């Protein structure tokens, strides 16, 4: 029986208070995610239950109970308090998927500080823009990633301390301290800071069309959305072993790789290793994973490996699959039904929404290729891009619009109130995506409404790529768009107009590529460069990426006269 069956009764009178009630929360009480994910689970008789089964690339396994998590987050929090971390300070976690990442994340929340997770593959420039913006006071990191922080720390006046969790006997630089969690004296009792529902919790950076990445600020109240969607959409139950393949550098890895599942008291398996089909199937078999949350790019990679690979492993433990991040094509759903005996359930949401908002909930018949329907309590629609009013007929393609008010809706872009305000029209929050709704109320994703590139489920802002390119002495103008890719759906491509005196040739292309590699994260790296004499522009001189995009995808360019006026 799925959790949703129980829900269908409750749907008739749905209210977010269901989540507050199930978590035993009473109005006016402090609300701290760190406490709800550890201490509360222990208090509800699950102290000895496994919280985390962790495995690294070498196959080494470590297990942590909820009581271990409680004590270790207390120990980490007490140490950070000793370093001067205060409520409201930003603390960045910049690590591979080691246990300290998960423990450190919750420890920061226990302190009432704001946790800023960053993907450990970021190079020093990607890191610099995001740390500059957040004004982080402390970074929790590993030796190898700490070296990147060391390189830029002179440019970060707010940064006081890098905490290196695996320093060993290495010589540390000024502003670095070592902290060995395994061997630190354990702190059994630690009073979590009495954060309220509106106290800031997590600051996740996400890319837009213009400007540098912006920090979407969440609050402790988000736990109610994350708890309930984890329970009803991912269908997490007491005996499950759940695997979320996302890295906590991205919102899936925190909302559904930390907060949602642990607030439910779910056992999570974590794989800190790169992708290979055999490794992934082997991981499912070894730990008897029952619920699996992944992404279309990973599913396409598995599909590419063929149908023999899954047969080499015992995968019968799986009982529920879900996907997020990009359009889940119908073939992927049909493939998984055939090969794994289960369909992937699509879930649509964003860094900004904090939790799943449109989805194929268990119990709802899946229409392969559709994202499903709004989660209970989410008021969603598709609005006409001209009037911002909902369409009155099914099938019309417009903008996905959500009525703010669910618990995990972001509260601000860090220090960017104008950009935040620009996302709201007629009382709707606009996600920046286009879709249609069919006569049965199912949502069909069409594409992004802006120029953001979604590569393998990761958003990359064209501006970031273009800014890096413009730093090269030969580049006069540039435009970055997504080009089709069989696995990642799209990958960045750069169009470049050269300065006078430079000739397009292979050597220059290679030189620009190498230049980019130093400035951009691997995700944002252009996979192709096309030299052009000029770029299409509107009358005010703005580059029209949409024209390049349409040509690249063999689509109609559309009415350029209107674009020219933009």
Binding-site member from 100, 433, 451, 552 for ligand WT7 (CB under 6 A)? 433
SS3 37: coil
Residues 217-246 that bind ligand WT7 (CB under 6 A): none
Helix (H) or strand (E) run with residue 127 in it: helix 124-134
Q: Is 371 in the site for ligand WT7 (CB under 6 A)?
A: yes
CA dist 328 and 340 (Å) reads: 16
Q: Which is nearer to ligand WT7, 482 or 536 (CB)?
A: 482
Mask: binding to ligand WT7, 295-324, rule CB under 6 A, as x and -?
Answer: -----------------------------x
Q: Is 349 in the site for ligand WT7 (CB under 6 A)?
A: yes
Lateral strand order in the sheet of 412-413 = 176-178, 161-164, 138-141, 90-94, 114-117, 200-206, 214-219, 412-413
Q: Which is nearer to ligand WT7, 224 or 410 (CB)?
A: 410
Binding-site member from 141, 195, 206, 264 for ligand WT7 (CB under 6 A)? 206
Which tokens sit at 255? 């909302």
Q: How far is the CB of 43 from ligand WT7 (least distance, A)?
A: 31
Binding-site member from 71, 109, 114, 251 for ligand WT7 (CB under 6 A)? 251
Q: Is 351 in the site for ligand WT7 (CB under 6 A)?
A: yes
Q: Which is nearer to ligand WT7, 327 or 492 (CB)?
A: 327
Rg (CA), the chain: 23
Q: Please work out the total of residues on this chain that contact ligand WT7, with binding judged by CB under 6 A.
A: 23
Q: Which is nearer to ligand WT7, 181 or 399 (CB)?
A: 399
Q: Is 454 in the site for ligand WT7 (CB under 6 A)?
A: yes
Q: Which is nearer to ligand WT7, 35 or 250 (CB)?
A: 250
CA dist 475 and 456 (Å) reads: 28
Q: Which is nearer to ligand WT7, 195 or 351 (CB)?
A: 351
CA dist 207 and 465 (Å) reads: 11
Q: Is 138 in the site for ligand WT7 (CB under 6 A)?
A: no
Q: Is 166 in the site for ligand WT7 (CB under 6 A)?
A: no
Stretch that binds ligand WT7, among 9-17, 191-199, 247-255, 272-280 (CB under 6 A): 247-255
Q: How far is the CB of 323 from ligand WT7 (least distance, A)?
A: 7
Nearest Cα to Cα of residue 469 among 514, 532, 523 = 514
Quick one: 564 exposed, middle or buried, by C-beta within 10 A (0-12, 13-18, 19+)? middle
Q: Which is nearer to ligand WT7, 25 or 349 (CB)?
A: 349
Nearest Cα to Cα of residue 284 among 517, 28, 293 = 293
Q: Is 126 in the site for ligand WT7 (CB under 6 A)?
A: no
Stretch that binds ligand WT7, among 64-72, 105-113, 248-256, 285-293 (CB under 6 A): 248-256
CB atoms within 10 A of CB 86: 12
Nearest Cα to Cα of residue 100 among 152, 146, 44 = 146
Quick one: 130 exposed, middle or buried, by C-beta within 10 A (0-12, 13-18, 19+)? buried
Which tokens sit at 6? 């129980």
CA dist 144 and 254 (Å) reads: 22
CA dist 564 and 300 (Å) reads: 37
Binding-site member from 143, 319, 367, 448 for ligand WT7 (CB under 6 A)? 448
Q: How far is the CB of 352 from ligand WT7 (least distance, A)?
A: 7
Stretch that binds ligand WT7, among 119-127, 159-167, 184-192, 345-353 (CB under 6 A): 345-353
Q: Which is nearer to ligand WT7, 73 or 207 (CB)?
A: 207
CB atoms within 10 A of CB 304: 11
Q: Is 326 in the site for ligand WT7 (CB under 6 A)?
A: yes
CA dist 18 and 40 (Å) reads: 17
* Residues written for the chain: 566
Instruction: Please check whether residue 478 is in contact with residue 497, taking contact to mean a CB–CB distance below 8 angstroms.
Output: yes
Q: Is 141 in the site for ligand WT7 (CB under 6 A)?
A: no
Q: Note the residues at the interface with ligand WT7 (CB under 6 A).
A: 206, 250-252, 324-328, 346-351, 371, 431-433, 445, 448, 454, 459
């Amino acid at each position: 029986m799925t959790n949703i069956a129980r829900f269908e009764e409750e749907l008739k009178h749905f209210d977010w208070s269901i989540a507050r009630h199930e978590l035993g929360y009473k109005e006016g009480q402090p609300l701290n995610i760190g406490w709800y994910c550890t201490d509360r689970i222990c208090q509800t008789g699950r102290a000895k239950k496994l919280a985390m089964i962790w495995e690294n690339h070498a196959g080494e396994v470590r297990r942590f109970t909820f009581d271990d998590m409680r004590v270790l987050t207390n120990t980490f929090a007490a140490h950070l308090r000793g370093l001067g971390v205060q409520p409201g300070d930003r603390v960045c976690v910049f690590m591979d998927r080691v246990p300290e990442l998960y423990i450190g994340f919750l420890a920061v929340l226990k302190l009432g500080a704001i946790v800023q997770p960053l993907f450990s593959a970021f190079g020093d420039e990607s890191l610099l823009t995001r740390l500059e913006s957040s004004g982080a006071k402390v970074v929790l990191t590993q030796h190898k990633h700490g070296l990147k922080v060391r390189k830029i720390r002179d440019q970060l006046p707010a940064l006081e301390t890098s905490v290196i969790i695996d320093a060993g006997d290495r010589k540390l630089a000024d502003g670095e301290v070592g902290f060995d969690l395994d061997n630190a004296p354990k702190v059994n009792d630690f009073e979590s800071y009495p954060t309220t529902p509106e106290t800031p919790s997590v600051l996740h950076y996400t890319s837009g069309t213009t400007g540098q990445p912006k920090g979407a600020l969440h609050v402790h109240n988000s736990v109610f959305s994350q708890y309930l969607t984890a329970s009803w959409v991912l269908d997490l139950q007491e005996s499950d072993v759940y695997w979320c393949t996302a890295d906590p550098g991205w919102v899936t890895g925190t909302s559904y790789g930390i907060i949602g599942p642990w607030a439910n008291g779910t056992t999570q398996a974590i794989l800190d290793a790169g992708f290979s089909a055999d490794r992934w199937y082997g991981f499912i078999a070894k730990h008897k994973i029952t619920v699996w949350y992944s992404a279309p790019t990973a599913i396409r990679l598995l599909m590419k490996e063929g149908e023999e690979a899954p047969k080499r492993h015992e995968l019968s433990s799986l009982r529920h699959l879900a996907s997020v991040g990009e359009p889940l094509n119908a073939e992927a759903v049909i493939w998984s039904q055939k090969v794994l005996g289960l369909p992937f359930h699509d879930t649509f949401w964003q860094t900004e929404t904090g939790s799943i908002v449109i989805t194929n909930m268990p119990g709802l018949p899946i229409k392969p290729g559709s994202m499903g329907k709004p989660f209970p309590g989410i008021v969603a629609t598709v609005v006409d891009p001209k009037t911002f009013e909902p369409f009155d007929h099914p099938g019309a393609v417009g903008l996905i619009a959500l009525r703010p008010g669910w618990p995990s809706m972001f509260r601000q872009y860090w220090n960017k109130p104008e950009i935040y305000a620009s996302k709201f029209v007629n009382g709707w929050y606009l996600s920046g995506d286009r879709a249609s709704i069919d006569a049965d109320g199912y949502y069909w994703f069409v594409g992004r409404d802006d120029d953001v590139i979604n590569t393998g489920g990761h958003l990359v802002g064209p501006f970031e790529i273009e800014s890096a390119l413009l730093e090269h002495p030969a580049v006069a103008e540039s435009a970055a768009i997504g080009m089709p890719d069989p696995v990642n759906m799209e990958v960045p491509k750069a169009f470049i107009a050269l300065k006078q005196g430079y000739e397009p040739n292979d050597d220059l292309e290679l030189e620009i590529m190498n230049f980019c590699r130093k400035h951009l994260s691997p995700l944002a790296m252009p996979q192709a460069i096309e030299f052009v004499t000029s770029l299409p522009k509107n009358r005010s001189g703005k580059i029209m990426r949409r024209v390049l995009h349409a040509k690249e995808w063999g689509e109609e360019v559309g009415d350029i006269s209107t674009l020219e006026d933009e």
